[in-house]
Structure 1
Amino acid sequence: KLVPVSGLHDLCKWIEDKGIRRAAVTNSPRANAEAMISAVGLSEFFEFVVLGEECERGKPYPDPYLKALKCLGVPAKRAMVFE
């Protein structure tokens, strides 16, 4: 059973309230990624889910992150990553 870390939902609400764009980037298969995101109550939080398999190279290469930035329309210098 997945349990969100303490404070996760408060942080997510703060991010939403600030209008910050967001995407999940993972090397997991889509079904696994969506199940994990749902299990911690974040199904509506992410605008995009970017999979490593959708890119020429998955993580740890930057390709999935660059795809997420493109989807979001956010320049890299204005982005941050939580792992």
Structure 2
Amino acid sequence: MELYVIQIHFTILHSVKCFWRLAKEQLKPLNGLYKLRKWIEDRGLKRAAVTNAPRANAELCINQVGLADFFDADILGSDCKHAKPYPDPYLKALEVLNVSKDHTFVFEDSVS
């Protein structure tokens, strides 16, 4: 049994290292990202990053695409009782930003 536990830990560690290496080498912003950023900033819209990713992964990806200073708040699924797909992280972001759900839009990076 111990052999399997060690193998699983090694596999997880290897996967994490691969993710970090690939993110640093290959993660690029989508076309139009900086135009959208300017449009949002020019209007003074509040914004939050809401993710189920671990904080280190989220920060790596956000930094890598040049958005380190863009978000007013970051909400992790682990900060909430229920992570996405439950609405808890989004509701927490609304609360932190002090905005109404009726005047909010969301951009996602994955299919839900």
TM-score (norm 1): 0.98
The aligned counterpart of 2:38 is 13
Give the structure with higher Rg (CA).
Answer: 2
Whether 1:62 and 2:83 are equivalent positions in the alignment is: no
Number of residues of Structure 1 aligned to a counterpart in Structure 2: 83
Where structure 1 has 5 or more consecutive residues not aligned to the other structure, the ranges are none
RMSD: 0.5
The structure whose RCO (Cα within 8 Å, separation 6+) is larger is 1
User: Which residue among 42, 46, 61 is the counterpart of 2:67?
Assistant: 42
Q: Say if 2:80 is the partner of 1:28.
A: no
Q: Percent identity?
A: 58
> Secondary structure at 1:49's aligned position in 2?
strand
- Return structure 1 stretches of 4+ with deviation > 6 angstroms: none
Residues 34-71 of structure 1, C-alpha deviations (whole Å, 9 max, x = no match):
11000000000001110000000000000000000001
Higher helix share: 2
Unaligned 5+ segments in structure 2 are: 1-25
